[in-house]
Amino acid sequence: MTDTEGTEARRSDGEETQFIQPIRDYGRAETKPLDLPRATIGGYRADAVERRVAELERRRTLDQAEIIRLKR
């Protein structure tokens, strides 16, 4: 038996955990909205990602239209 096992056994013999401050008192602080940038995806700003996706989809649509035109 190691020292830590003995300590755990003695600690669990009826000793209760006591909190420094009751948990219910923690929620009483004034809340303020955080001044953060818009949500990010993988470290990139979401609006920049959305613009890039829209640009790539637009380019793909134009490329598909060009392919259809050339096949005629």
CA dist 37 and 46 (Å) reads 10
| pTM attached to this predicted model | 0.38
User: What SS3 state is found at 44?
Assistant: strand
What is the domain partition of the chain in residue ranges? Answer: 35-72
| Tens-place pLDDT, residues 11-67 | 555 556 655 555 555 556 666 665 655 566 666 567 777 889 999 999 999 999 999
Q: What is the pLDDT of residue 42?
A: 63
